[in-house]
Amino acid sequence: MKKENKLCSLLWNHLYLNNEGYALPCCAAYEHIEEMLKQSKSITEVSSIEELLKLDLFKDIRQTMLDGKEHTFCSSCYDKEEKGIQSYRQESNELFHETYEKIVTGELNLDSAVSYEYVDLRLGNQCNLACRMCPPNSSSNLIKDYQALESQNFSLDFTKNTSWHKDPNFWQELLSRSHEIKKIYLAGGEPLLINETWDFLGELIKRDHAKNITIYYSTNLTTLPEKAAKFWPSFKTVQLSLSIDGFGDVHEYIRHPIAWKKIEANLHKLDKDFLDLNIESAVVYSTIQAYNFDAIPELVQYLNQFTNIDSYPVISLLTAPNQLSIEALPLDIRKRAIAPLKALLFQAKTSEYKSEKWKSNFIHEVLNLISSLSNENFNKDLFEEFKRYTLHFDKTRSQDIFKRIPELKNYF
């Protein structure tokens, strides 16, 4: 196996800070988060970004890749590649192909300084939603729920860490390297609500760096600020990942207290103002879990009406919390979703698609979902936890799981 088949450009050109300001290899390595946090530090614990990027954690992963081996923390990408799904590693190597070639040829090596070509910031937990599958470090609105469900105590350190992006010194240091930036990924919390990001974009425009930078947002689309029309056209382009987990009531059940009418209005506005807002792509990203295991066909049918927003979502299987994954559902319930998904596969294979690459990716993702739904394993302990979580959220939100999945009445 050639070493370039294991390399990832992100270890040489990428700054990633999670919701609590910890420097990590990337967002795709989340399943190893506890192990990585032991080897990392938060931006609140160091004097500079540079100090974070010199951690042994990153050097160890680099060395493993240069040796032509798979690092444990990067297993999610290698696993996807085995299934024919494009991984974050492959996507990044294509996007930053010049950096990747420099690693392959040895121009960039083990000791090369990290560039700021790609900056990925998960901006604390300021969010206007409390999605059932999210942890409190993604939304402060979930703190009370986790205090009740997990008996968790949230310390002053937690509050400090999830507010790391409010430190003006961080943004000033980032601006000092802004001439290197080609892509900025902003997620939260809800990034469109965070004032510091708009101030940062304004500074990039003033410094005449914006024209070289692509902004990528992961947004719940509950808001579309007027500032977008003011700032976004100054950048090279804008890409949007729209977090939508189903059509109508399905989405409202998962992403409380969202109103579908608001999402629908913003989808139509985006589609209409696509070019004026300098949007290159707007793709729905759906997290498949026990609550929406059967929702993708209806969502695709709904998205077909739009001219510019992609009809086929990017779908990923929920890995945490485990009790909300599709594996928590009884076999007879989850298997009823398979036939509609197979029909959707036929539709996807025979229809036009903006990108053959992403068409192929969607097909492989649906095949992976069908495989997971077909899995004969059923964990009763996981199901009991699923019931506990579901009943808690139903009670506190005046919702009803039996309206979403009527067959569960036979199991509760």
Q: What is the DSSP string of 53-74?
A: HT-HHHHHHHHHHHTT---GGG
Closest CA to 23 of 109, 121, 103: 121
β-strand pairing of 214-219 with 314-317: unpaired
DSSP state of 359: H
Residue by residue, DSSP assigns 299-340 as: HHHHHTT-SSS-SS-EEEE--SSGGGSGGGS-HHHHHTTHHH
Main-chain phi, psi angles of 326, to 5 degrees: -65, -20
- C-alpha distances in angstroms, 188 versus 125, 137, 162? 6, 9, 10
The letter for the amino acid at 117 is E
Confirm if 28 and 88 have CB atoms less than 8 A apart. yes
Cis ω on the peptide bond leading into residue 330 (within 30° of 0)?
Answer: no
Strands 183-187 and 130-131: unpaired
pLDDT in tens, the chain (412 residues): 466 689 999 999 999 999 999 999 999 988 898 999 999 999 999 999 999 999 999 999 999 999 999 999 999 999 999 988 889 999 999 999 999 999 999 999 999 999 999 999 999 999 999 999 999 999 999 999 999 998 878 776 777 799 999 999 999 999 999 999 999 999 999 999 999 999 999 999 999 999 999 999 999 999 999 999 999 999 999 999 999 999 999 999 999 999 999 999 999 999 999 999 999 999 999 999 999 999 999 999 999 999 999 989 999 999 889 999 999 999 999 999 999 999 999 988 887 766 666 778 899 999 999 999 999 888 899 999 999 999 999 999 999 999 999 999 999 9
Contacts of 292 (CB under 8 A, 6+ apart): 245, 246, 250, 254, 286
pTM comes to: 0.94
* 395 SS3 class: helix
Classify residue 398 by burial, with Cβ atoms within 10 Å: 0-12, 13-18, 19+. exposed
Q: Looking at 123-266, which runs of residues are DSSP E strands? A: 130-131, 183-187, 214-219, 237-243, 255-256
State how far the Cα of 228 lies from the Cα of 269, in Å rounded to an integer. 12
